[in-house]
Amino acid sequence: MKNLSLALLFAFFVSLIPHIVEIYNYFKHQDIYFLDRKPFIQNPDGYFFGRLAKDFKRGEDVLRNFPEGGVKYDYPPLISFMYGILLRLTGIEIEWLGFWLSPIFGSLFVIPFVLFWHRLGNLWVGFAGAVLTALSSAYYTRVFVLDLDTDNLNLFFIFSIALFLLLAYQKKNHWHAYLFVALAVLFSLLFYWWYAHPEFFVLQFLGFLLLALQNRRLFYAGLTGLLSLWALISFMAGYPLGMDILGRLFLYFGIPISPVESKNVPEVLKTISEQGRVYFLRSYPLYFSSEFPFYIALIFLPLLFFRFFKGQLLLLPLYVLLVLSVVKGSIRVYMYSAPVLAMGFAYGVFLISKLSNFLEKRSLKLFVGGLFPLLMLISAINWFSLIDRMPGFFISKEVVRDIQKLKDITPKDAKILSWWDYGYPIVYYSQRAVFHDGGTQFSIKTLLIAYALLQEEKTAHKLFLCISDPIFNHRAWEKYKTLGLYKALEQSAKECQVKPYGKIYLLITEDMLSKTQPMQQLAYGKGSTLLKLPPCERDCKAELNRDTGTYTQTIGRSSTEYLVKEVFWIEEEGKVKRESFNNPKGGTLYLVKKGGTIYGFFVGEKLKNSALLSLYTIRKDREDFRLVYDNFPHSVLYEIISSKPPQPLTLSPEDHLHLK
């Protein structure tokens, strides 16, 4: 019992190290990470859950998005409910609550992790596995300071459910078994309320049912628990869950059984971040200090699985996601691979240390059996990555200030159109409705907005107003299913008939330009260059060589030369002067003057006339866009002008049927 207590305390303390480093850097770099004397949220979902927590505290529910009819939750997610209660009880601002509590939440998983392996009879694997998981960048880059997100407790719930099911199996001939099954059901229900991904605990219960096949009463208890979960979460979801659970499992491996649809919005794409791929065998820095412990983990993992087969069945979702990491190389799931690989490495070290039983020399016996495991554990941790740990960066302080101003410079019924990343922050700070956000990034609107931003201004203006129309979006989705993505976007743009919805504003921020590559992938399937150049002075005479038509970018001792076909000089008042060079294969250079500084953008052919770039750099009123706020280079806000008053929609019977 003493060893267990020490393992729990030490593992929990060590798991806080990444967060302590991050907190230190937060205070060290307050000029970047603090606003109004408090840290501000640096992940998109944090703004969503934080806003719902503040709404819960006030007893309000602001529209989550537009124009999906104002989707609202029947109940707040558990994370928002918890923070909302704490806001009511303490009066502390949510940013500070998240700042101090998220590290604790992110470290809680070590408790059921260690206890689970203690019950399996190998405390070392539990302790070492928990420490390696907590100190792997695959985990702590998903669970960070001020991370108001569900990743904080996901592993805690997975290992807690596994622990209760293991205890139920071990107590199968005692009434305590039914108590532990009930606790597993309770924690599964809380996990669903927390994360809304039932496939995790469904797999765990399926593993438990396989274990309980030889004990009829325990099997029926597990089956009753699983059916009770199905009924309860179907009630919470508002519709009977069925094939969509199985569909999610297959979708992990890129095998769509049917289109996954929410009640209102068809999901037609994955997020750009989740499309990121890293070849699995090259992913070792995410888990360990070098390839050596990584391969130890891979070699001994099969032995671990078969030696503790019954226990590993209860961790089935983690093994499924590990297979997905190998097959797909998906960055998103590496967090769930971390504990499996950590356990494999810990078990490998454990088996090697048992060679001490065959050694006769006392000193060598003590080294192999005692000191060797600790040295291997310490050497397996990627300390360099850990020490250099900086807080995540999603949105700049200047952009946050501008988003806050939306509340003062736009009417209450305004709808803000921007890229989906900023949907949650806009609603959080300004209480204005948005067109898409992190929750609706899967909708056809993301594709349409990406396509619109890359068109010339007239086409973009028309599409921006059409996207207000849910019938237009639905028909675009139908075209996507029959014509394919790119033809559907092109055809939808041609058929767009404007039906405006009140006051619509377009917000362009400085880092939206860095997202042109994924926008082009969504809109065209291929991308063109857009580079943000370092600011220059005095008409960029040192950088722009008019004799050769080249622009030289110098950073430190390194320099890069760009071949230029034409230059657009943009003055403070929005006047544009064009300069051409005899370089047919060159790119286009936008040079924007603002307050004595010149900001440069080098773009390829497909982007040079895009509305995104022209509206951002040439800041002035147009026929279709009225400049409302200009804080270039941080952000620019336009009102999208409509030549017609808002009109009620006329729905066909078929459209009525699809929208129900």
Identify the pLDDT of residue 251: 55
Tokens of 624: 């279709």
State how far the Cα of 375 lies from the Cα of 290, in Å rounded to an integer. 14
Least confident range from 150-154, 160-164, 584-588: namely 584-588
Q: What is the mean pLDDT of residues 350-379?
A: 89
Residues 232 and 307 in one domain: yes
Show which of 358, 388, 418 is a domain's final residue: 388
State how far the Cα of 335 lies from the Cα of 332, in Å rounded to an integer. 7
Whether 73 maps to a domain, the answer reads no
**Does residue 604 register a pLDDT over 70?**
yes
Whether 220 maps to a domain, the answer reads yes
Q: Using one digit for the tens of pLDDT, what is the confidence trace for 615-630?
A: 999 999 999 999 999 9
Identify the pLDDT of residue 346: 97
Residues 651 and 595 in one domain: no
Domain of residue 561 covers 530-603
Identify the pLDDT of residue 539: 80
Tokens of 109: 């998983």
pLDDT confidence band for 69 (50 / 70 / 90)? very low
Identify the pLDDT of residue 643: 66
Tokens of 74: 């029947």
Length of the chain: 660
Note whether 328 and 274 are within 8 A (CB).
no
Residues 290 and 143 in one domain: yes
Q: Using one digit for the tens of pLDDT, what is the confidence trace for 582-599?
A: 898 889 999 999 988 999
Whether 194 maps to a domain, the answer reads yes
What percent of the chain shows pLDDT beyond 90? 53
Residues 251 and 142 in one domain: yes
State how far the Cα of 501 lies from the Cα of 507, in Å rounded to an integer. 17
584: which DSSP letter? T
Q: What is the mean pLDDT of residues 505-519?
A: 90
Residues 597 and 639 in one domain: no
Whether 168 maps to a domain, the answer reads yes
Residues 111 and 129 in one domain: yes
**Does residue 67 register a pLDDT over 90?**
no
Show which of 365, 388, 411 is a domain's final residue: 388
**Most confident listed range (214-223, 518-527, 529-538):** 214-223
- Cα dihedral 246, 247, 251, 256 in deg (nearest 10): 140
Residues 111 and 199 in one domain: yes
Pairing of strands 433-434, 558-570: unpaired
Identify the pLDDT of residue 265: 32
Whether 53 maps to a domain, the answer reads no
Identify the pLDDT of residue 277: 64
Show which of 583, 603, 623 is a domain's final residue: 603
Q: Using one digit for the tens of pLDDT, what is the confidence trace for 105-144?
A: 999 999 999 999 999 999 999 999 999 999 999 999 889 8
Report the CATH number at residue 612: 3.40.50
Residues 198 and 342 in one domain: yes
**Does residue 502 register a pLDDT over 80?**
no
Q: Using one digit for the tens of pLDDT, what is the confidence trace for 192-202?
A: 999 888 889 98
Helix or strand holding residue 166 (H, E): helix 151-170
Least confident range from 71-75, 90-94, 272-276, 302-306: namely 272-276
Identify the pLDDT of residue 471: 81
Whether 455 maps to a domain, the answer reads yes
Pairing of strands 597-603, 587-594: antiparallel
**Does residue 268 register a pLDDT over 60?**
no
> Burial of 234 by CB count in 10 Å (0-12 exposed, 13-18 middle, 19+ buried)?
middle
Number of domains present in the structure of the chain = 3
Does residue 640 sit in helix, strand or coil? Answer: strand
Per-residue burial over 351-386, b = 16 or more CB atoms within 10 Å of its CB, e = otherwise: ebbeeeeeeeeeeeeeebbeebbeebbeebbbeebb
Note whether 425 and 433 are within 8 A (CB).
no
Whether 270 maps to a domain, the answer reads no
Whether 55 maps to a domain, the answer reads no
Residues 599 and 609 in one domain: no
pLDDT confidence band for 261 (50 / 70 / 90)? very low
Identify the pLDDT of residue 659: 41
**Does residue 474 register a pLDDT over 90?**
no
Q: What is the mean pLDDT of residues 203-221?
A: 93
Residues 131 and 231 in one domain: yes
Pairing of strands 433-434, 415-417: parallel
Mean pLDDT, the chain, rounded, equals 86
By C-alpha distance, which of 185, 182, 160 is closest to 171? 182
State how far the Cα of 97 lies from the Cα of 54, in Å rounded to an integer. 12
Q: What is the mean pLDDT of residues 420-447?
A: 86
**Does residue 266 register a pLDDT over 60?**
no
For residue 231, the tally of other CB atoms under 10 A from its CB is: 12
State how far the Cα of 368 lies from the Cα of 422, in Å rounded to an integer. 54
Residues 453 and 574 in one domain: no
State how far the Cα of 484 lies from the Cα of 236, in Å rounded to an integer. 35
State how far the Cα of 649 lies from the Cα of 468, in Å rounded to an integer. 11
Helix or strand holding residue 415 (H, E): strand 415-417
Residues 361 and 227 in one domain: yes
**Does residue 171 register a pLDDT over 60?**
yes
Identify the pLDDT of residue 259: 40
pLDDT confidence band for 556 (50 / 70 / 90)? confident
**Does residue 660 register a pLDDT over 60?**
no
Note whether 454 and 610 are within 8 A (CB).
yes
